[in-house]
């Protein structure tokens, strides 16, 4: 059934055991040559096209997984950014409460100074020593100036910190938003690419063997006959 000088080999794409002349074994570089000698080029082309399509689908799935991972990472960053915004709001609320407390303390000191000034204006028998009252008034005035300076410092610091943090968080949010839009466009492109019809890819792959056979005929290389003997494919499969 097989030529005497042939050797049985297995075609890799279609898994068909065929008999190939020993003189051609050194010329073969892959399974496609075996299939061409055995007459299995059409079946192997369809199988190769399906394998290529499976490889493309696997690649697209891997890219989609990478995009989903990146999206999850950016979602985490957005959550962290939201948490920092909440912390900033809490800090602003605390600064506002401190400001209100300082204003209340200042108002209380002003009322106390006014009361002392009123008492000094009204004669009381016997009048308290003037020296002690003047010292008390001076101390209260110094405390009042210190509280005013502290209140001004707190207001300026709170305003600067709130403006700086708000600007930085706004810039980070815009950057993350731009990345999210880019990821959305990439997912749309991959989904559009994965919707190519399978039949169109198989038809493109089925035309390849005829081109290989025509090129082999034009170059004058032997295909099925060597030494006056023909290569006969086996009917049995592995």
Domain spans, the chain: 6-230
- CA 202 to CA 35: how far, in whole Å? 18
Q: Which two tokens stand for residue 46?
A: 């369809």
Q: What is the pTM of this model?
A: 0.28
What pairing do the DSSP bridges indicate for beta strands 17-21 and 6-10? antiparallel
DSSP character for 79?
H
Question: pLDDT value at position 114?
Answer: 84
Q: Which residues contact 224 (CB under 8 A, 6 or more apart)?
A: 37, 39, 230, 231
- CA 118 to CA 125: how far, in whole Å? 15
Which CATH code, of 1.10.287, 2.60.40, 1.10.1200, 1.10.3470, is assigned to 6-230? 1.10.287
- CA 216 to CA 146: how far, in whole Å? 100
Question: pLDDT value at position 237?
Answer: 42
CA 193 vs CA 53, 60, 64, 112, 128: distances in Å = 12, 8, 12, 80, 96
Place of tokens 């169109």: 200
- CA 127 to CA 157: how far, in whole Å? 46
- CA 237 to CA 122: how far, in whole Å? 124
Q: How many CB atoms within 10 Å of residue 35?
A: 26
DSSP character for 124?
-
pLDDT per position in the chain (238 positions), as tens? Answer: 334 444 555 555 555 555 555 555 555 544 445 555 545 454 455 555 556 666 777 888 888 888 888 888 888 888 888 888 888 888 888 888 888 888 888 888 888 888 888 877 766 566 556 667 778 888 888 888 888 888 888 888 888 888 888 888 888 888 888 887 877 887 777 777 776 554 455 554 545 444 444 444 444 444 444 444 444 444 444 3
SS3 21: strand
Give me the residues paired with residue 229 across strands. Answer: 226
């Amino acid at each position: 059934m097989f030529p005497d000088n042939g050797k049985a080999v297995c075609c890799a794409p279609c898994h068909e055991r065929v008999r190939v002349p020993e003189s051609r074994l050194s010329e073969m570089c892959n399974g496609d040559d075996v299939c061409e000698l055995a007459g299995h080029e059409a079946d192997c082309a369809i199988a190769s096209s399906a394998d290529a399509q499976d490889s493309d689908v696997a690649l697209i799935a891997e890219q989609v997984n990478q995009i989903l991972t990146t999206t999850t990472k950016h979602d985490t960053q957005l959550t962290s950014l939201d948490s920092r915004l909440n912390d900033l709001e809490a800090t602003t609320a605390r600064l506002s409460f401190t400001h209100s407390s300082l204003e209340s303390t200042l108002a209380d000191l002003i009322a106390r100074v006014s009361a002392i000034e009123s008492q000094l204006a009204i004669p009381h028998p016997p009048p308290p020593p003037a020296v002690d009252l003047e010292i008390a008034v001076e101390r209260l005035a110094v405390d009042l100036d210190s509280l005013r300076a502290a209140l001004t410092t707190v207001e300026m610091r709170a305003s600067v910190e709130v403006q700086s943090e708000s600007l930085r968080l706004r810039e980070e949010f815009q950057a993350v938003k731009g990345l999210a839009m880019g990821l959305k466009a990439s997912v749309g492109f991959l989904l559009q690419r994965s919707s190519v019809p399978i039949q169109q890819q198989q038809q493109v792959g089925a035309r390849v063997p005829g081109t290989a056979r025509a090129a082999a005929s034009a170059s004058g290389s032997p295909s099925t006959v060597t030494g006056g003997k023909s290569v006969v494919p086996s009917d049995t499969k592995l």
